Structure 1
Amino acid sequence: MKHRTLRGVAALTLGASLLLAGCGSSDGGADDETSDSPTASDAASSNPADVAALEAVTVTGDAGAEPTVEFETPFTVTGAVSRSLDEGDGETIEAGQEITMHTVGFSGADGTKAGSTWETDSPEQLVLDENLYPQLLDVVVGKKVGTRFLFASTQADQATGESATFLTVAEVTGVEDAPVVPDPADVPDRAEGESVTPEDGLPTVTLDDSGTPSVEIPDGYEAPSELIVQPLIKGDGPEVTADQTVIAHYTGWTFDGKAFDSSWERGEPSTFPLNGVIAGWTEGLAGQTVGSQVLLVIPSDMAYGEQGTPDGSIPPDSPLVFVVDILAAY
């Protein structure tokens, strides 16, 4: 979940982790004119070397299917850079709209695949607003549904602190007007509702005065084979559906009790499409009510599975524990 709205949880959603986060990126402007074959004029970056790096990437394959991507490693860029691969032939995409897209991402260091929404058949949602890298807006706005593009950026590897490059190929599958986002002034700071007594034997959650959770995982606690969803506070808001976007506070822990990410620590809640995160979140939060606080104990195969996360913050085959306050949904 390393995007503007879930920055810090290592890639709950592939495309978001690689495409969002970037208001501070260097400026760049794509040409208004496009061609059938991508050229340097289709790229957006302030660094010619980064433009040249994307020009050397080869993408082949039919529209609608995961492409074949070839590039030499190590692949590096100094900042965000994008390249249009084709115009698309559907509806024109405008700023402020919401797109759905398929993505496949790769580590620039060794070319390993970081994940693919084609494999899970779960295209991601993305609102084309000022929270995105300018380079991403440049390569999408004005194009049409069906357009494919390349995007590369650098991130700090949480395990080493060193800079790492990730490369993404995306294909826009749909566009519609963006949903009306709740006014931040109307979003509460924490879950509010009726307390629920959890089942015995689960990790114990304690809240400080601000509502920030901590967790104590019992000695010898074994990872479940199925998702555990335990409401701790029952909110009185509407029921959340899997196709909504959720505003939430959360903290996540590995089974050794180590917190690997927390919106509470960042001082603001996070926003994410519920169909664009790990399965444990999608299935665990859908059906809960706004205002609720939920304990999720997630088996590895509903989290990051055999791969873990690219930055190493979550090792392979790691079950996870989350406490999530559902503050709003739309």
Structure 2
Amino acid sequence: MRRRSLFLAAVPASLVALAGCGGNSSDSSTASDGASPSASGTSAPPPPKIVDGPLPAITAGTGFDQKPTVAKGPGDPSDQLAVKTVIAGGGATVAENDYIQANYLAQIWDTAKVVGNSYDQKTPLVAQLAQGGVFEGWRYALTGKKTGSRVLFSVPPTWGYGSDGNPQAGIKGTDTLVFVFDLQATFNAKSSAKGSEAAQDDAALPKIGTNTDGKAPSIEIPDTDPPKKLVSGYVIEGDGEPVKAENSLLVQYKGVVWNTGKEFDSTYQRKQLASFSLQQVVKGWAQGLTGKKVGSRVLIVIPPALGYGDNPPAGSGIEKDSTMVFTVDILAKM
């Protein structure tokens, strides 16, 4: 069977990720202390029944976002999806095709061997609950849950690795897996930056809308020549961790050409978030977003030398030696 990364996230084609370093967009985070698991198969199995159990006990680390210790499975596991909300959160409801941010632990039912863990690395997983993108068991178990919740569930091979298992991770084709997920956040096409509005008092720079309703913010270009150097500044300053040059990000963004104000790329128009590595985008994006806080909206003005220069993508509507203006909402670090 064709194998698919467990953490694969749908990444729409975007202009910023097609040039610069010459690579394509990356997939999402692989926060794990072991071999990266992979979902099996080329077509989805039929939906499972959601049952109450049996499920093993969480014996230590019982608080939300504490690394849990989970006992061996009690007897034989269900051949369906056993799901229990251990801690009920009161946040946003996770929908299918959302990106979730969560800490998680995965182990084998029979042996309690841990095969995946984000807690030790202190880097939550960010993944999209899309059909064919992650374990089908994740999609069925987590859709409908609220952020702030801890969810304990078991996934038999049918909705996990299938009959091939994952020999690299020591998982047989007959192994049922047990997961604990602490759901921190959920993101979709209506997600926006969250934080404090920053002053936009430089008349020589574009002014960016500060709406946080999930709609595309406005970009007002001043009637002046564009700056010769990269400009990067907060429109809305979030309170998350600073972005590092080696990070991958989940974002909303919109890009226009300075001289014409013409929009050439937008996640808002596609109604789909974008994720990518900062090592695989144009230099202006990588430099402009490094150091900015997660949760922020950032204005980036990219001169030609840090954008596409004299070789813009064909059919993009971007002319040679164009200065580009972006508004970027940094939703999550991956």
TM-score normalised to structure 2 length: 0.46
The one of the two structures with greater contact order (alpha-carbon pairs below 8 A, sep at least 6) is 2
Whose radius of gyration is greater, 1 or 2? 2
TM-score normalised to structure 1 length: 0.47
